[in-house]
Structure 1
Amino acid sequence: MYSVILLVLGVALLMVMISKLRIHAFLSLLIVSLLLGVAGGLSLTDVANMVAQGFGGTMQNIGIVIICGVIIGEILEVTGGAQKIADSLLRLVGIKRAPLATALTGGVVSIPTFCDSGFVILNPVIKALSRVGKIPYMTLVMALMTGLLTTHSLVPPTPGPIAAAGILGADVGKVMIYGLIVSIPVILGTLLWCNSTYVRKKYPEIAEADSDDLAANEQFKEVVKHAPSTFMSYLPIVLPIILIVVRSFVLQYGNAESGLGQFIAFVGTPYIALLIGTLVSFLLPSKITAEVTDTWVSRAIEKSAEILLITGIAGCFGRVLQGIGVGNVLADVIAKTGLPSVLLPFTISAIVLIAQGSATVALTTASAIVLPLLPSLGISPELAVISIAGGSFCGVFPQGSYFWCVTKLAGYDIKKGYVAVTATTFVMGAIALVSIYIFSLFVH
């Protein structure tokens, strides 16, 4: 049990360093990984090698994928492609079903972009929807927050699920399919809470129309007017997803040794597929210039740097946990509890999220903890990723940046923030937990 005690102490120390001492997650994970290795009886040489191998192995799997995904999101945002996608979905569903349209729009927009950026882009739009349709602003805020956060955590190529897939060695194509399937009940189920009579009566206020909001909404319309076509806006997102999913299908059910099979396996390799999506995104501006291929790309790489480092160092954490043999001991403990194995990754991820506030850190840290347990859980790496992703949005408190992004942009005090964000994310988590458990009965 010594290794289990070390794990508990290590996770507790990690949470204290990140949440209380405000030490960056990268340094916290690195220091705790080294301390765990030494305390676990490994030689100093072995600890150093494991940390290097964990970092390098994780980067090998998902480094390029994350960078290309962030580049696509950046170009969609700058060119107005993300706004065009939002506008097309809002028009398709219609103002009569504005809460549904808002949630679905958030779900699609957040696949290539960060959920924080998505809320910044779409907040002026939902304010206008609230005024025109006489819909409580709180309902639309909660619906948008739900859609954005759900796919941000569950569906690649956003960095969080990509990172978790890389650490656990999961098939990205399957993670995409599983994530999309689970996202549907989470978004639609939570929408019942967002659009409930209780919320509408408790918070009936329509969005106020100040000059800044009106200007922002006019700017959104202007961006949409000059944005790429709807087809081209969707293409950099949809094409990589199709290539990755088709590759997974061919490798599992087709003839991967044929010439066509080998070609599909190549173009559907996650980093190749995302690279193709990146090259397609260069067609979104009216003209390919050095600003597009250099400045915008450099900005995206800067945004992805922190995620890459946290993901890589989480791989070190998982590698050290494997090295000290914590997996076998915990496997026996889990077996004796009789709980469904799929619930454990969810619980670990939710605890990490509540302790420190970041969904991405929850995804990467929980994946590192689950890695040595995976062989004994009896579930696939893909299902483990989805379970971790579901837990990574179960309970967003004020220590999370997304809490303040939504609360401040909506103009709410902290009390309303707890309703709009914290309560809603617990509803999301509960629905995700049930959905993932039911899904696990059919897919292992």
Structure 2
Amino acid sequence: MSPVFMCLVGMAVVVGAILKFRLHPFLALMLGALVVGVLAPGEASFAGVGKRLAEAFGTGCGKVGLVIAMAAVIGQCLLVSGAAERIVRGFLSLFGVKRAPLGFLSSGFLLGIPVFFDTVFYLMVPLVRTFAKSNPEKFILALLAVVAGGSMAHSLVPPTPGPITVVENLNQTLEATGQQELDLGIMIAGGLLLGVITIVVGYLYALWANRVFRIPMRRTAMSELTEFEPDPERRLPPLSAAILPVVIPFLLIMMGTIVTSLWGKSTDTDYPLAGQIVLMLGDKHAALAVGALVAVVLALRYRPAGMELPKVIQSALAGGGVIILITAAGAAFGQIMKETGIAEELKDWFSGPEAGGKILIVAFVLTALVRMAQGSATVSMVTTGAIMASLLQGVELDFHPLYLALAIGCGSKPGPWMNDSGFWVISKMSGMTEGETLKTFSVMLTLMGTVGFLVVWIASRIMPMA
């Protein structure tokens, strides 16, 4: 049986299970992996498929589980402690009332890194509606600024689940084939840089849409939940403390990347003591754990009266646990895909002077198609990251793997529509009709993702960094 056919069957099972039968993405990915495992050739393809699936699932869970759990704790504690609100207010104070949409854009981007996009929107839309009461002509501008900032960070900058899963999936194959791996610090830096470029594009579109469409702020069934009333009794942490849970992990990971680049990859004992300490703290698991500890301290001190911290942590881990299951299932799906021999089958097509461009285009288009088919940006990145990792077995990249990871991130943006939960959150909480949401939110994200991919493609040709 053709490896390409087996992989197409696996993808069809995943997408069909989510779309037609409304299965949870975790179950859909595991089912797809099971089907491909049965079809794939090799020893004990029937009898051993369960064991191979479990081993691949465990490996994937071990690589991303702790990171995602700690990121979930950071995000939840930022919300409970008021640190997230303080960050938004800090940016609004920095830019002033006239340029408040830029404050929404910047704070949305920063909060979109540790906090899920839907939650960022829930947090910020009351502030947007309050701002729009005195500036009704800028309602859509402010609303789209929040969307532009939060959505791009979610797909480009670790430790959000999509980017970090893509990095781990690609690295597993890159390490096995002796190719240059993608350091998490490099992914953070690249994601931040590309993120800034794409949110500028989104903001420019928001300016145009605000001027052309003239959509008013309407009362909705959720208006009572989206009107902000400041609580004079609520203590918020200072801005300098509020940003620490986000900034500290970034700094530690980047410092670890710098040490590795200065001394090269070697055993830990080859580094000086200071270097060993930096590497220990710069490990993604340790860095996120430190960030989570700081976030917990903030929540302990600034949480609302009567709120129990153990319940806050439990809520965070419950949400993070679902994402861990999905990402680990994606890793299992990718590992089983490798067993089909798909890399060897497509080796000739991914060779030659234009091989790099082909790989990037396939990654972007495939992610976009999966996103449009089932609605979730994270699931599309997990699925495509696993597939591209299986393709890399027989291909030697002529550019840094950063570009491939960013292409997948950009591919998760185009085409959001009615099967995307974020579409309905934005529509219902903003009061926009479905048509208005399509021509504002959907068009803007498609434009941002496409421009981001073009930037990645051009950069990979000019500065391959191979």
Shift of 1:205: 3.9
- The equivalent of 1:391 in structure 2 is 411
Shift of 1:348: 1.5
User: Between Structure 1 and Structure 2, which shows a larger proportion of helix residues?
Assistant: 1
Preserved contact between residue 314 and residue 364 of structure 1 (Cα < 8 Å) = yes
Q: Secondary structure at the match of 2:113?
A: coil
Distance in 1 separating the partners of 2:192 and 2:277? 26
- The equivalent of 2:280 in structure 1 is 266
Q: Secondary structure at the match of 1:335?
A: coil
Shift of 1:280: 0.8
Which 5+ residue runs of structure 2 have no aligned equivalent? Answer: 172-181, 265-269
Distance in 2 separating the partners of 1:342 and 1:212? 42
Distance in 1 separating the partners of 2:70 and 2:294? 11
Residue identity (%): 27
Preserved contact between residue 155 and residue 175 of structure 1 (Cα < 8 Å) = yes
Preserved contact between residue 395 and residue 429 of structure 1 (Cα < 8 Å) = no
Which structure 2 residues correspond to residues 173-252 of structure 1 after superposition, within 5 A?
Answer: 173-196=185-208, 199-208=209-218, 216-219=226-229, 221-222=230-231, 226-252=235-261
Distance in 1 separating the partners of 2:13 and 2:129? 42
Per-residue Cα deviation, 1:153-201 (whole angstroms, up to 9, x for no partner): 11112222122222222422111111001101100012111101xx234
Distance in 1 separating the partners of 2:170 and 2:142? 36
Spell out structure 1 runs of 4+ moving beyond 6 A.
209-212
Preserved contact between residue 136 and residue 203 of structure 1 (Cα < 8 Å) = no
Shift of 1:213: 5.1
Shift of 1:224: 10
Shift of 1:72: 0.4
Aligned residues: 441
Are 2:297 and 1:283 aligned? yes
Are 2:41 and 1:33 aligned? no
Are 2:451 and 1:431 aligned? yes
Distance in 1 separating the partners of 2:82 and 2:248? 19
Q: Secondary structure at the match of 2:414?
A: coil
Counterpart residue identity of residue 204, structure 1: R
Preserved contact between residue 129 and residue 135 of structure 1 (Cα < 8 Å) = no
Are 2:348 and 1:362 aligned? no
* Residues 15 and 286 of structure 1, relative CA distance in 2, 3 Å threshold: closer
- The equivalent of 1:57 in structure 2 is 59
* Residues 137 and 49 of structure 1, relative CA distance in 2, 3 Å threshold: same
Counterpart residue identity of residue 12, structure 1: A
* Residues 56 and 223 of structure 1, relative CA distance in 2, 3 Å threshold: farther
Distance in 2 separating the partners of 1:34 and 1:377? 28
- The equivalent of 1:76 in structure 2 is 78
Shift of 1:335: 3.0
- The equivalent of 1:14 in structure 2 is 14
TM-score normalised by the chain length of structure 2: 0.89
TM-score normalised by the chain length of structure 1: 0.93
Shift of 1:332: 1.9
* Residues 208 and 19 of structure 1, relative CA distance in 2, 3 Å threshold: closer
Distance in 2 separating the partners of 1:23 and 1:311? 16
Preserved contact between residue 152 and residue 160 of structure 1 (Cα < 8 Å) = yes
Shift of 1:50: 2.4
- The equivalent of 1:347 in structure 2 is 365
Counterpart residue identity of residue 359, structure 1: A
Distance in 1 separating the partners of 2:443 and 2:361? 21
Counterpart residue identity of residue 117, structure 2: C
* Residues 172 and 356 of structure 1, relative CA distance in 2, 3 Å threshold: same
Distance in 2 separating the partners of 1:171 and 1:294? 34
- The equivalent of 1:108 in structure 2 is 110
Distance in 2 separating the partners of 1:179 and 1:148? 13
